[in-house]
Each structure stands twice: as structure tokens, then as C-alpha cells.
Structure 1
Amino acid sequence: MSTAPEVATQATPATTTATTTTTTATATATATATATTTAERSNPTVGAATSLLAAYTPGTHFLATPTRTLLTTGTHAEVPHDDRPLPQRVTATLAAARRAGIADPYVVGAVPFDHTAPAALAVPESLRTAPPLAADPLIALPTETADATGWQIRPVPSPEEYGAGVSAAVDRMWRGDFSKVVLARTLELTSPAPLDLPAMLQRLARRDPTGYTFALPTAPGRTLIGASPELLVSRHGNQVVANPLAGSTPRSDDLAEDVRRAAALLESAKDLHEHAVVVDGVHQALAAFCTDLTVPARPTLVRTATMWHLSTTVTGTLATRYENTDASANVSALELACALHPTPAVCGTPTATAREVIRETEPFDRGFFTGVVGWGDANGDGEWVVTIRCAEAEERSLRLYAGAGVVAASDPAAETAETGAKFRTFLNAVGAEL
């Protein structure tokens, strides 16, 4: 007799102290503020996270994780792009900010898939924080339904071209050239009206409040916005957590079918192999930095509103770099993220070969898709998240991204369908359909 699959939740360190704000920007924000007025008398944290969500405006940095909610104001300094390693540049920028009078500087932003391309990381002038969205009861309030705005949608590449790319990669794997590659495709959406990014962010955050929701400027007039389920790595003191996801199946609106799909994913030889490759890569990368590294023998499941994912939570204790020193002298969360990135979950294995296959097959630049987004502080703590379920937004256009892990047992039609299901996270947020 089959049983319902186990669903894992991500390990999270202690949350930050709430700092509330009452700014509202949408109809949802007005409802939130009204509900807060009464509720906060008995619990002052009620409405703290959702008020930061409501206060988001394009050009600021918003990031919600299972441990905290962040909203920035202004930019004190941008992390420069030069020949130094990225963690070194970030450390220098944070140190300069502290010397300039910012008592507790943070860096927030995004790192692209191509580690040689410029990152979009900044130290804000000020930073407001709150507990996680999932801890705020007001996150359950409904948001406005996305209007059908007459989106024009162009797939790049076409589904047929994408399937042909998957087939060609599978043929090469059977010849022994490599063992896995992650191939992506995009949807280019054009709206007749300017984009309402705050409304999109509200819908993304309220649909999956336990995940990682973000809206971050990456260039003048351009925003990276999305809701990722996957933690690349976090550091809190000497404690390190990574949560690789690989192996997926679409959710179903029918409960019995949804459970059947989840149970089948846990037994899928193809998906278990794909997942094991990723976990092994994460394990090897973290082993160079950690002691007492714990890697569960079998994956569990993580669910989003649209997908089931195989999930393994890897935990460890950071090895001290120097004797008689505190945690801040050790490797930072961003250094760990750079050591892990890109994992086989977003690139493939061997990494160099997979990168070349991606360049040959994908007719677009990934930009920040399958990079990392997150935050870090001057003590080295931080959370860095794999940039998936996302879009790059400009005035009237969105470029959506979705990828699938291709292994020798992959079926081109199934991988094309999986990317289509992953697009649903963002399509639902903007009221568009394939």
C-alpha cells in the first residue's frame, strides 16, 4: 500500500527583529493596513512583513526568505566590477560603508549565471527588516487577480527547437561526452500597458510565502523579479545550510493525482539519479569548508504552487580558518555561494562541458537567470538563492525563463512539458497563458 510522501520544510535560523512601516501602494496594501490596525495591538509583528511588501517600489530591493523580509531605501554604494574575486570586492565595499558611518552594512542584489559578467550588488543607504512573510498572518489576505492585458507571447526557442536541443544533448550523453546538462528556454511577453511590478510581486509572494521572493534592480529601468524555491547556501554564524533541488514534476489540481505524482517522483529512477548528481556536487564543494557535514541518504519533497521538487537539506559547521577568532573571520556566505555556483542543478556535469553545451544550444543570454540572489552582511552571514522562476522586466516587456535537467534517460517531450509547467509560476502572476 502506498503512503503519502513526506514533505520537507527548509531549516531556518532565527529571524531578525521586526521593523514596521505603514506605507501602502495597492488595494491589497490598503486591506493589509486596515487589518493591521486592530491585530497589531495584541501582536506587534502582525503586518510587519506584509507592510514591507506593500512598500516596494521599482528601483528598491525587496527580498523575502524563510528567515526574514528585507526592503532597501537608496543606494550608498554599488559593488564594482573589476579583476578581484567577487567576495573580495563585496568585503571591501562593506568595509568602506562601515568606515563611512553605516553601522551595520548589508549587500543585496544579484549575481549572473556567467561569473565573469558584472553583478548587480549594492549597499543600501538604509535597510528595513521584518520576520518572514509566512509568519505574518496578513499574508493570507487575497490579492487582486491579474488583468488579462492582451499579452503578446513569443517563445525563444520554439518548443520544437527546444525539444530538438534536448534530443541532441541526450545523444551526446549516450556517447559518453557528459552526464547532465540543464537546458533552458524563454518566453518574451509584451504588454500594451506599462508593467505593474508591485502588483506582480504581491501575487508571487502571496502564492508561495514560504519560498524566496525578490524584486531587484539590475540596470537602469530593468528589474529581476521572481519567486525561487531553492536555497543555494546560507551562513548563520558557523552554521551552513544548502538545499539543492533537482528532479521535478508538475502539481495537479486534483488532490489524488497530485499525491500520486509526488509519490511517483520519489520513486523515479531518472529523477533520483539527476538529484544525486546535484547533491554530490554540493557535498564535494562544501566539504572543503565544513566539518560535521550531514547529507541525508534520500531526498524528500518540496512543493510550490505549481511544482513538486526532490529536495535534500545539507547542513554543516564551518571550519574555523584561524585559531582564537570569531566567525566573521571565516569564509562568508557569498564565498560559499561562489564556490558552489553553478551547481549541476542549473548547469550540468562536468561543469565546463555543460557550459559549452548551453552556449551552443540556447539562443539567448541567460543573464541573471540561474545565477544567485540574496543578501550578506559585514560579518559574513547571508542567504544566497538560486535565481529560478523569474523574469527580467522592463517598461512593457518581460522575459521569462525556465529550465530542465537533461540526463541520458530524458524524454524531449517531457522536458519541454516540465519547462512549460515551470513558466506557470510567473504566467499566473501576470494573467497570461501559453
Structure 2
Amino acid sequence: MTTGTAPNAATPNQPTDCAGPHFVLSRPHGTVTAHGVTGTISDPTEAVARVRAGEAIAGALPFDVREPAALTVPGRLEITSAPLPVTARPEVPAVTVRRYLPAPAEHTRRVTDAVTRLRETSLRKVVLARAVELDATEPLDHRAVLARLVAADPNGNGYSVDLGAAGDDHRGVRLVGSSPEVLIRRQGATVTCHPLAGSAPRDSDPDRDAALGRALAESTKDLTEHSYVVESLKESLAPLCSDIEVPPGPVLTTTPQLWHLGTPLRATLRDPHVSALELALAVHPTPAVCGTPTDEAMRTILAVEGGRGFYAGAVGWTDASGDGEWMVTIRCARIAADGLGVLAHAGGGIVAASEPDSELDETTTKFGTIMAALGVMD
């Protein structure tokens, strides 16, 4: 394993990582850990300026970027060439379901209403989510939850972010998750992203599992939904990138719970001063978590669900040179400051051909990543 650091100027009273680093992103190709905090930023525009001035940034962007972000200027970024090492699957206290928000019947009603709207208006896709509130019998350690998420993911995906930079009501709150979806990655002039849209549950029987994957790859509904995401990304990247390479069709990707349709995109950055953070802000939110047209889908989501906070936002880092990686914050949970309360979200893309009961089942399957990590028996 190779290790590097991306330093920032540290203040004399730089906080220690007594409760663990304030930011960790584990990926198949490496882990980035932020140590110490020399500044906190809630405005992404300020963060862009700080990166252009030669500082590194790490943290989380909310779903609605008009809300406060949770970004920090770390004293040091530690970058390794492997996923977060997990030597053992730590224990966590018992966790139980308190309630679903909304209740299942209400979610299917919302989907039914959305399908009607999709058939009657210019809205082509909207992503509707629901939440589950969970209770722990003893305070959860976010480091243990992260380790369990990373251990359960074959690619070693996982993240943990202190959301305190977003304001007093987020102080001590952690966002933990295991996202398979790359919003944007910048390495020098090379820009890549790997949107996921269209999904199907996995099955323990290999033959049935393979059949589910094949059915997803041939699903007109899911292929249409996926195409909206790819076209939106191409349009958002075009002013900033050249030579945008898009495969002729999506490929199947998997997590332990789901099959996904995914399309890896690659492009060349036009201006070397444009950072990974700026690219993330240019493409977020994609139709994979919002819908299309974006403004109409956003208005619909806010009217139906209210605010999502950091769910369906982005979590990532950008170093002083502008390189970095940002993931879509899905398959995640918000752990309260006391460690006893947990809030998780799961959503699905609704198009005119969507079936309400199937969309409800999809959210239940997507809750599985966090439920399994917390040992929840629902």
C-alpha cells in the first residue's frame, strides 16, 4: 500500500481526531482520510474559491445546494491505494425500526400520483424517496458502522462524514454509507463518472439472480430511465469538457442487494483550473437522484417529501491541485449526535411506466445496505 498526504496550513490549536477522522471515503482504488480541521465551510461557492487558492476540501453537499453544505479544510489528507482495511466486523448495539416516513401505503399513493403527473405534464422522471427512523439501545460508533459497511461491500465502498460544518443543528451528527455511484472523479485532465439508474433486486439462487440481471438489461422502462441520466450528464459536462466518451449502452453492475444499469463516461477537462468540486456542482443533482427536467423534478420532490438534507447529495474530496472524487450519497444513514437515533432514506426513479408496488419494493431493497450493517431485523 502506498500512502501520500496533501497538506494544508494548520492552525496552532488544530483539533485531534479523538473520535476518529471527520471524513473517510473508502473506494476500490484507495481511501482518503481527512485529519484535523483548519476551517469549516457551509457555502460551496466559498469552497470552490478556497480550492482555487490552493486548499483542499472534504465533506458533503446537500441534495438541495441552496441549503448549507458540510465542508471542511482539513489539516491533512491521507491518500492510500486500497480500500479501508477492515480486520474484523465490529459489533454494534441492537437497532430497531421506529417507523417509516411515509408509511408504505402513502408512498405507493405518492408514486401513483407521480405517474399520473408524468403522463399529463412535461415531467419525464422524478425520484421519490421515503425514510425509516431507527433506534439504537446504546450509542452507535460511526467507525464501527463504517467498518461493517466496507466489509459487506465487495468493492470496499464506504464513507463517514461529520456534518457539523453545516451548522449547530448538525453538530456531532454523522453521515455514513456505502455508495456504488460515482458522481464525478477528476485526475489531471481526465474526468470520469459512472451514473447508476434502473435497478432490480438480487436473488440468492444464482440462476434466478442471473435472470433478474438479464431482465433489467432488457427492460424498456429502466433503459429509458437510465438514458435520461446519461443525456443530462453529457449536457452538463459539455461546457467544461471535450471528447466526452459514452458507451453505446449501459452495463450491468451489482451491489450485494441490487443489480444496476450503469454507464461509465470519460471526458477531457477544457480548463485545468476547474476542480473536481466545481465539476460535482455542475452535474449535481443528476436525474439519477432528482429527475428530469431538473427544476420541475426538484419542485415536485420538495413539495411531496420536503427537504432531504444530505441524502441524495454528494460526499467527497478535492485536493489543492483540483483532483478529487465525489460520490452520490445514497445507501446512507444519518446518525444523531447522541448515537441513539438513525435516519435512512431510499428512493427510486419514477417514470410513466412505473408500477407503484414495484417502486415500494425497490426502496425496501435499497434500505437493505444500512439495515444489514446495523443488524436490523424488520
TM-score normalised by the chain length of structure 2: 0.90
Structure 2: tracts of 5 or more residues without a match: 6-16, 165-170
Q: Say which SS state the counterpart of residue 343 (structure 1) adopts.
A: coil
CA shift, 1:146, in A, is: 4.9
1:18 aligns with 2:3: yes
Bigger strand share: 2
CA shift, 1:177, in A, is: 3.6
Q: Say which SS state the counterpart of residue 260 (structure 1) adopts.
A: helix
User: Would the alpha carbon gap of residues 242 and 248 (structure 1) be closer, same or farther in structure 2, given more than 3 Å must change?
Assistant: same
| Residue identity opposite 2:244 in structure 1 | L
User: After the TM superposition, which of the residue ranges 71-80 and 294-303 deviates more from structure 2?
Assistant: 71-80
Whether the aligned pair in 1 keeps the contact of 2:158 and 2:178 (CA below 8 Å) is yes
Alignment of 1:309-348 (within 5 A): 309-319=260-270, 321=271, 327=272, 329=273, 331-348=274-291
Alignment of 1:189-338 (within 5 A): 189-210=134-155, 212-219=157-164, 220-319=171-270, 321=271, 327=272, 329=273, 331-338=274-281
CA shift, 1:199, in A, is: 1.5
Mapped to 1, the partners of 2:209 and 2:91 lie a distance apart of 24
| Residue identity opposite 1:121 in structure 2 | L
1:184 aligns with 2:169: no
User: Would the alpha carbon gap of residues 116 and 107 (structure 1) be closer, same or farther in structure 2, given more than 3 Å must change?
Assistant: same
User: Would the alpha carbon gap of residues 78 and 377 (structure 1) be closer, same or farther in structure 2, given more than 3 Å must change?
Assistant: same
1:132 aligns with 2:82: yes
Mapped to 1, the partners of 2:299 and 2:68 lie a distance apart of 20
1:114 aligns with 2:64: yes
Mapped to 2, the partners of 1:225 and 1:301 lie a distance apart of 25
1:420 aligns with 2:364: yes
Residue 301 (structure 2) aligns with: 358
Mapped to 1, the partners of 2:289 and 2:78 lie a distance apart of 31
Give the percent of matched residue pairs that are identical in Structure 1 and Structure 2: 42
Mapped to 2, the partners of 1:340 and 1:111 lie a distance apart of 12
| Residue identity opposite 1:416 in structure 2 | L
User: Would the alpha carbon gap of residues 239 and 56 (structure 1) be closer, same or farther in structure 2, given more than 3 Å must change?
Assistant: farther
Alignment of 1:31-70 (within 5 A): 57-58=19-20, 60-70=22-32
Q: Say which SS state the counterpart of residue 297 (structure 2) adopts.
A: helix
User: Would the alpha carbon gap of residues 156 and 178 (structure 1) be closer, same or farther in structure 2, given more than 3 Å must change?
Assistant: same
Whether the aligned pair in 2 keeps the contact of 1:212 and 1:385 (CA below 8 Å) is no
Mapped to 2, the partners of 1:419 and 1:80 lie a distance apart of 30
Alpha carbon RMSD of aligned pairs, Å?
Answer: 2.0
Mapped to 2, the partners of 1:59 and 1:72 lie a distance apart of 6
Structure 1: tracts of 5 or more residues without a match: 1-15, 21-54, 99-104, 322-326
Determine which structure has more spread, i.e. the larger CA radius of gyration: 1
Paired residue total:
359
Mapped to 2, the partners of 1:161 and 1:352 lie a distance apart of 24
User: Would the alpha carbon gap of residues 150 and 272 (structure 1) be closer, same or farther in structure 2, given more than 3 Å must change?
Assistant: closer
Whether the aligned pair in 1 keeps the contact of 2:52 and 2:322 (CA below 8 Å) is no
User: Would the alpha carbon gap of residues 59 and 382 (structure 1) be closer, same or farther in structure 2, given more than 3 Å must change?
Assistant: closer
TM-score normalised by the chain length of structure 1: 0.79
CA shift, 1:152, in A, is: 3.7
CA shift, 1:262, in A, is: 0.7
